[in-house]
Amino acid sequence: MHDGPVIANNTPLVAFWTIAQTNILRELFGEILIPQAVYEEFLAFEHKSRLAVLQNNSWIKVVPLKNPGRASAFVGLDHGEAEVLALAEEQDARLVLIDERRGRKYAQRLGFPVSGTLGLLLLAKEAGIIPAVLPMVTAIQAAGLYFHPDLVEKVLHIAGESSNR
């Protein structure tokens, strides 16, 4: 893996914000770049508390696109996802953090490694940042984010944990 930046879409940021664990992202990557559209999506709800997160965490950097028109090439994606991919191209990203299936497929076609929220939790456990994946998944789901049950089971299996469903 080369040393380009990590580019994040809104959903992983929201997931870690909902459980007050954005520090996990900092510990994993040091710095994360987000495009303007993701900044706006992130602040669209609970503006005051989310703005405080961005203001107090200078390691999350908003980077304007050099070629904003490039985002329109990604048909079928929302504006944030499209800008994430355009920024990933411009910055030669080493990793794209995106949960949405269509955005992930685009990123992979462009040759970028991808990880979603659950993959990030696995990385955090492997790095010794968190002791277990299940409590984090449970907390994120309790906050209203949805993960397909089969995907949760697969991730817990990889983590050596069980949901005891």
**Residue 156 lies inside a defined structural domain of this protein:** no
> Quick count: other Cβ atoms within 10 Å of Cβ 38?
25
CA–CA separation, 147 and 99 (whole Å)? 9
Q: Note whether residue 86 is domain-resident.
A: yes
Tell me what pLDDT residue 162 has.
80
CA distance 29 to 57: 13
The answer to whether residue 154 is domain-embedded is: no
18 assigned to some structural domain:
yes
Instruction: Report if residue 65 sits inside a domain.
Output: yes
Task: Quote the CA–CA distance of 114 and 15 in Å, as a whole number.
Answer: 16
How confident is the chain (165 residues) per 10-residue block, as mean pLDDT? 87 95 96 97 92 92 95 93 97 96 95 97 97 96 92 95 72
Distance (Å, whole) CA 139 – CA 108: 29
Q: What share of the chain is helix, strand, coil (3-state, %, to 5)?
A: 55, 10, 35
CA 18/CA 134 separation, integer angstroms? 15
Round to whole Å and give the CA distance between 160 and 102: 28
Is residue 136 domain-resident? Answer: no
pLDDT at 2: 64
Q: What's residue 3's pLDDT?
A: 81
Please, which residues have CB within 8 angstroms of residue 5's CB and are 6 or more apart in sequence? 31, 32, 33, 91, 93, 94
Question: CA 35 to CA 41: how far, in whole Å?
Answer: 10
Count of C-beta atoms within a 10 Å radius of residue 121: 27
Q: Output the pLDDT for position 165.
A: 53
Domain assignment present for 122: yes
The pTM for the full model equals 0.93
> Which structural domain, as residue segments, surrounds residue 102?
6-130
Report yes or no on 160 lying in a domain: no
Residue 90 is part of a domain; what is its CATH number?
A: 3.40.50.1010
Helical pair 10-18 and 134-142, crossing angle rounded to 10 deg: 100
Domains in the chain, number: 1
